[in-house]
Structure 1
Amino acid sequence: MPSEVAVEKKKLQNPPLELHYLGDRVLRQGAKRVTKIDEEIRKLAREMLQTMYSQDGIGLAAPQVGINKQVIVIDLEPDNPANSPLVLINPTIKQVSRDMCVAQEGCLSIPGVYMDVKRPEVVEISYKDEYGRPKTLKASDLLGRCIQHEIDHLNGVVFVDRVENSLALAQELSKHGFSYQAVKSVV
């Protein structure tokens, strides 16, 4: 069954949703579980994808566009029209590996800032797709990292909260016009 949320992968002059940036309170609120997966949620997923593609992103969580719902869209191949995006509704981390890895992360809510973040190498999640079907997924590499990054957003955590080098982080944030005061360290 083809995805009902597939949209054309192109940059829009005026994306349908507005991004919120580090320092905005909406990024710090825990998102609410979606109780009914219907056309309204599928429309939200489509608009999130259009907004994400317009900003050259590979992942977007609903709180980043000011919507307090547990909805995530991910597309690691935004330039490949044949690759279907992933829609995660009410994702829950079931298991993470003991092995950790460090890689650079960025975020549409903190444009221009890229820092090293340590995360579990493998993550296993359960979620519902855009039709409400229960699914599980085991992911590593970029997909695993992207899923963990976006689930953090649903819990009011931003990737800079996980950066261990606070001095480098403060300098990088300042260089891009963000306040270090907006960071709530979880490391």
Structure 2
Amino acid sequence: MAVRPLRFEGDQVLREVASPVTHFGDEFQTLIADLFDTMYDAQGRGLAAPQVGVSTRAFVIDTRWKEGEREPIAFVNPEILDQAPFLQQGPEACLSIPERTFNVQRPVWVDLAWTSPSGIRQNARFHGVQAVCVCHELDHLNGVLITDHGTEV
């Protein structure tokens, strides 16, 4: 569809708690397609709607496309149902905070519930890199950045 301009650290939309999605019409479907286009164009593995200036509870990820086939997943109104009691720490980058990397602690797995862009409720457990990515993007929906709980490396 289209590559949208990214918003960067300091932009107020990145600090807002995003509003729930209530309408799944054409405009919303375009947003989801644009999130994927923008994420791939920027060489990212995830992108949340606030990062393109839309304060709504939606994000996309594809943690494997750089190593092989694309595996895109779109999340609408996501919520963590459960998470591992053990944390993993590792480096994270963010398209909205270019050229900086932070060590961040994340659960080794998360159980997530969400709605697909077509309105179907889903849930799954995500491990490793996918768990990190899901938590990172969910933080964006809550106005949280990696600068808030990570240590710059």
TM-score w.r.t. structure 1 length? 0.77
Partners of 1:135 and 1:38 in 2: CA distance: 19
Listed one character per residue, the Cα deviations across residues 80-131 of structure 1 (whole Å, up to 9, x for unaligned) are: 6743310000001111111111011000000111121011111111000111
Aligned match of 1:152 in 132, 139, 142?
139
Within 2, Cα distance between the matches of 1:79 and 1:130?
Answer: 24
Counterpart CA distance in 2 for 1:53 and 1:122 is 25
Q: Could you tell me which amino acid in structure 2 is paired with residue 102 of structure 1? A: Q
What stretches of structure 1 of length at least 5 have no aligned partner?
1-6, 8-14, 173-187
Structure 2 equivalent of residue 179 of structure 1: none
From 11, 14, 21, give the equivalent of 1:24: 11
Structure 2 spans left out of the alignment, 5+ residues = none
1:63 aligns with 2:74: no
The higher relative CO (CA closer than 8 Å, separation ≥ 6) is in 2
Q: Deviations over 1:24-79 (max 9, x none)?
A: 11100010000122222111011111111111000000001100111101011234
Residues 3, 41 of structure 2: 8 Å contact kept: no
Identity %: 33
Q: d(CA) in 2 for partners of 1:16 and 1:100?
A: 34
**TM-score, structure 2 as length reference:** 0.94
More strand by share: 2
Q: Does 1:123 align with 2:107?
A: no
**Which letter does structure 1 place at the counterpart of 2:7?**
H
Runs of 4+ residues deviating >6 angstroms:
none
2:129 to 142, 153, 156: 142
Report the AA paired with residue 112 of structure 2.
I
Structure 2: how far apart are the matches of 1:55 and 1:152? 19
Match in the other structure for 1:132: 119
Conservation of the 8 A alpha-carbon contact between 2:65 and 2:71: no
> In 1, distance between residues paired with 2:69 and 2:128?
21
Amino acid at match of 1:104: P
Matched length: 153
Describe the SS at the equivalent of 1:49: helix
Identify the residue that residue 90 of structure 1 maps to in structure 2: 77
2:67 and 2:149 map into 1 onto residues whose CA distance is: 31
- Residue 22 of structure 2 is matched in structure 1 by 35
Larger Rg: 1
What residue identity is the alignment partner of 2:33?
Answer: R
